[in-house]
Amino acid sequence: MPSILRNTAVTLIAVIALYWLTGFYGTALRDPRVLDGWVLCGGMCAQLLFHIRKKLPASPLGKAASWLKVHVYAGYFVIAAFLFHTSFSLPESLFEWTLWTLFVVVVVSGLVGLYLSASIPAKLQEQGYEQITFEQIPAARQKLSREINALVLESVTQTGSPEISEFYVHRLRNFFRKPQNMRAHLRGSRRPLDRICNELDDLERYADAKGGKLLSSIKTLVVAKYDLDHQYAFQGLLQSWSFVHVPATYCLVVLSILHVAIVYAYSSGVQ
Amino acid sequence: MAQVQLAKRPQRWDETLGRGRIPADLVALILSSRIFRDINPDDFPDDLPLEGIIANDCTIRQLARGDFVYREGSYQTSIFVVLNGGIRMEALAGTGRAAGQGVRANKHSRFRSLLRGKHAVTQPEPVLLERYDMFGELEAMTRTPSSGTAVAHVDGTVLLEMTWPGARELLHWSDAFRHRVESIYRIRSIDLALMESTLFSQSDQETLASIAKHCSFERHGSFDWTHRYQRESASGRDSARTMEQEPVIVEQGHYLEDLFLIRSGFARVTERIHDRERTVGFLERSDMFGIAEINEGLRASGLPHARQGLRAIGYCDVVRIPENIVEKYMRLDSQPEANPEAHASVRSLHADQSMRDFIVDKRFINATKAMVIDTTRCVGCDDCVRACAATHDGIPRFERRGPTHANLMVATACMHCADPVCLIDCPTGAIHRDAGSGSIVIDDNMCIGCATCSSACPYDNIHMREVRNADGAFLIDEDGANHLKASKCDLCAGQSSGPACQRACPHDALMRIDIRELNVISDRQERI
């Protein structure tokens, strides 16, 4: 049986078991929220184990890939426990709203992260870019910037005409200096690139042979920079979701502990 | 805290490297023995005297009856000479005196035989080695696992163990020693090749000895292939040009008068399309080339012609068996009809042509533990790098970059090669194979930082790192240069759970694989 089916089946069985248990607990005139609350708490603690595993990369605690699988499927189970615990209803107090919102942020960021992790590497692969790590992108950008500078200087000395250098100053300097057109990249649009290329084509129409050759080289660098920005946008996205997921998780843990303390402090012997 | 500390740079024969030294009187006695008598000390340079090599790069081993020198399948890189007593070689070919005496197939070929439902291979009688007999040269020179087990036959057996650095210098500087070792090497190579071949697995030792008389041994390319390969890689030549540089063993279409058994190294099987060659697959130790053509020639009573070409990748030792001998002695069930699997001898990589070219051209077929990253899964989280650093005092032993083809990146991490050329020129033997696991490891205490291994690695997977003392200060020599040590992936030696990088990857993108097990590659390719 494929592992995805097996894991889904196990998760579903656990959810059904929890549903049955909470019902049984209620029938026994006990407060089912105590049961599903503690299950939720336990589930959330179990989720933290993955973070601990990641903090101990060299530990002989099994494969991180297996831990991630458990993290994901246990996460689905925790969502179900959360829904049971909140009785599928919205919160009433500010504190509950805060808890609820944090939980939703953690879940949504986790699911988004899961989707991005599964889709972006494959998408970048499909687009056939030269593999480059996120940390190497600034160095690659600087290299392109140096190359374009050299070409522009060459254009001044070789053609004696200022068109290319003026175009560089007005249109390309900022483009090469830092990542540009992030929203267009994330939308998958190549319109900004087309615009620059069209302008370069316009210049090329009036350039002599030397200038045309230089413009052609500049265009190659422009395309390379655009592709680099594309990688930067998606690899950045791939890195960034965890900056939401992890802090929100820690906030949620702190508030959940407070929630449990408050519940027990103000209860008169919950069963 | 001191920033730097002045210290003498370690030298090859420093006593501080922790090895014993053979006393001068014993060295003189050894050099006067029959086996060293014809070696001329004047052939050796002043800074590498023969006495120094024997004293520093050799050791004396005293064994009681039943003590193991090495076991079949283990890795050892020394050449041994029996100085006293005797050694019983179990499952090893003849000693040179007794060519054709048996060897049991190595683990690899025996396993393959089992898979193919072969009969049990010949169980030879042990061979006794006497005073001044030499052994271990096959394994030391080809950097392959031992084909047999060496056990002390009598109490009081004394061996001279020439560690690889010493043996290498003797082979390099002394023609007499080199010729002696090579002649033994050739004879034993033929014996072993015949014993390991499934074609003759029912033949007795006498028959094998008579077959051996008709066989010839050839070396194509050079043991030390790395520098040429590096030059070719740097020149950026295309695949076809790279292939043209490889020595031809068999030209496609030519008359095939011999069967070729691969003894060591790798060979590329090619097919000519128009006027260019394409890679079909490769052959490695114990594989054969030409059996289908010879069989077809026999059936059609015509001359067999090579349907494919064969080229040495780096270096390749082959044993040639004349066609008429194959016909005379081949096992009946070795006929293609009886055992077609055995005749699908080309290791056709289960990958598309471009991937096949990538793997063979880049010489990744050498990799037994390549770090391959599936780029459709890798999210660049660097957990693998962090895990490596955490296991190695905060300094990662690899870089998450490297040649990429389709969705597979072969990262810059030691691949623990089947033919580890980095070992060849290490002056102290600091970089060596772990005898048990076969992993390539560096003994930090013995590394003198000469960077020979680093420059020899064809894949640029060994790096030199600066050495610090216990207080964190850099060690520098009298010229102000940093002391260096070679550093590379050691597969997290000492960690029972295996390489930390692989375990740390949350997306199952990183694999440590034997690239020759290519179903892993094709599985990953199919996922995209």
DSSP characters over A135-195: GGHHHHHHHHHHHHHHHHHHHHHHH--SHHHHHIIIIIHHHHHS---HHHHHHT--HHHHH
Beta bridge partners, B82, equal B159
Helix A137-159 with A209-266: angle, nearest 10 deg:
160
For the record, the structure tokens of A197 come out as 């290329």
Residue B463, number of CB atoms within 10 A of its CB = 18
Q: Can you give the pLDDT of all 528 residues of chain B as single tens digits?
A: 558 889 888 888 886 555 678 999 999 999 998 889 899 999 999 999 999 999 999 999 999 999 999 998 888 889 999 999 999 988 644 333 333 333 333 444 443 443 333 444 455 678 899 999 999 998 898 888 888 899 999 999 999 999 999 999 999 999 999 999 999 999 989 988 888 887 877 778 888 888 999 999 999 988 777 877 877 777 766 666 777 788 999 999 898 889 999 988 899 999 888 778 888 888 888 888 988 888 887 777 777 889 899 999 888 999 999 988 888 877 555 555 555 544 545 665 666 778 888 888 888 988 999 999 998 899 988 899 999 999 998 899 999 989 988 888 999 999 999 889 899 899 999 999 888 788 999 998 899 999 999 999 999 999 999 998 888 899 998 888 999 999 999 999 878 888 999 999 999 999 999 887 766 666 665 554
Indicate the Cα dihedral angle B520, B524, B527, B528, nearest 10°.
-150
User: Do A122 and A7 lie in a common domain?
Assistant: yes
Residues A29 and A122 placed together within one structural domain of the fold: yes
- For residues A177 and A207, membership in a common domain is answered with yes
Residue of A nearest to B388 (CA): A58
* A-B contacts at Cβ under 8 angstroms: 71
The neighbour count for residue B231, using CB atoms within 10 Å, is 11
Burial of B94 from C-beta contacts in 10 A (0-12 / 13-18 / 19+): buried
User: Cβ atoms within 10 A of the Cβ of B117, count?
Assistant: 10
CATH numbers and ranges of domains, chain B: 20-203 (2.60.120.10), 215-348 (2.60.120.10)
Q: How many CB atoms sit inside 10 A of residue A104's CB?
A: 14
Average pLDDT value for chain A: 90
Q: How many domains does chain A have?
A: 2
Helix (H) or strand (E) holding B440: strand B440-442
- Does residue A147 share a domain with residue A123? no
Cβ A175 vs Cβ A225: under 8 Å: yes
Measured distance CA(B312)–CA(B265) in Å, rounded:
8
Q: Is A216 inside a domain boundary? A: yes
For residues A33 and A53, membership in a common domain is answered with yes
Instruction: Check CB contact under 8 Å for B383 and A57.
Output: yes
A143/chain B closest Cα distance in angstroms? 18
The number of angstroms, rounded, from the C-alpha of A104 to the middle of its chain's C-alpha atoms is 16
Do A34 and A119 reside in the same domain of the chain?
yes
Other beta carbons within 10 Å of B211 = 23
**Quick check: B527 contacting A, CB < 8 Å?**
no
Within 10 angstroms of residue B308's Cβ, the number of other Cβ atoms is 20
Instruction: Decide if A26 is inside a domain.
Output: yes
Q: Which pLDDT does position B10 carry in this prediction?
A: 87
Q: Closest Cα partner for B407 from B508, B501, B521, B516?
A: B521
Domain co-membership, A105 together with A173? no
Judge whether A271 lies within some domain.
Answer: no
Check if B375 contacts A (Cβ < 8 Å): yes
Q: What is the pLDDT of residue B105?
A: 37
pLDDT digits (tens, 9 = 90+) for A248-269: 999 999 999 999 999 889 876 5
Same domain, A211 and A144: yes
Separation CA A58–CA B59 (nearest Å): 38
| Encoded tokens for B203 | 């033949």
Q: Do A155 and A89 belong together in one domain?
A: no
Q: Does A246 touch chain B (CB under 8 A)?
A: no
- Residue A189 and residue A226 in one domain: yes
A142 pLDDT exceeds 90? yes
Which residues of chain A from 58 to 117 reach within 8 Å of chain B, CB to CB? 58, 60, 62-65, 67-68, 116-117
For residue A220, tell me if it sits in a domain. Answer: yes
Nearest beta carbon to residue A58 from set B400, B500, B508: B500
Rounded to the nearest angstrom, the gap between the alpha carbon of residue B301 and the centroid of all alpha carbons in its chain is 39
Domain presence at residue A252: yes
Tokens found for residue B196: 């390991």
Q: What is the mean pLDDT of residues A77-106?
A: 94
Q: Is residue A25 part of a domain?
A: yes
Residue A72 lies in a domain: yes
Comparing alpha-carbon positions, the chain A residue that sits nearest to B503 is A63
Quote the CA–CA distance of A51 and A53 in Å, as a whole number. 5
CA B404 to chain A, closest CA, distance in angstroms equals 8
**Phi, psi values for residue B125, rounded to 5°:** -70, 145
B379: contact with A, CB 8 A cutoff: yes
- The tokens describing B382, both together, are 């660097």
Q: Are residues A123 and A33 in the same domain?
A: yes
Nearest to B508 among A58, A65, A130 (CB): A65
Q: Containing domain of residue A105, as a range?
A: 3-128+241-266
By three-state DSSP, how is residue B403 classified? coil
Residue A22 lies in a domain: yes
Q: What is the pLDDT of residue B351?
A: 67
Determine the Cα–Cα distance for residues B346 and B260; give it in Å rounded to an integer. 12
Substitution target in A66, A125, A126 with the highest count of B β-carbons within 10 Å is: A125
A 10 A CB-CB count for B234 gives 8
**Contact residues on chain B for A126, CB-CB shorter than 8 A:** 528
Same domain, A101 and A10: yes
Mean pLDDT of A156-180: 88
Length of chain B: 528
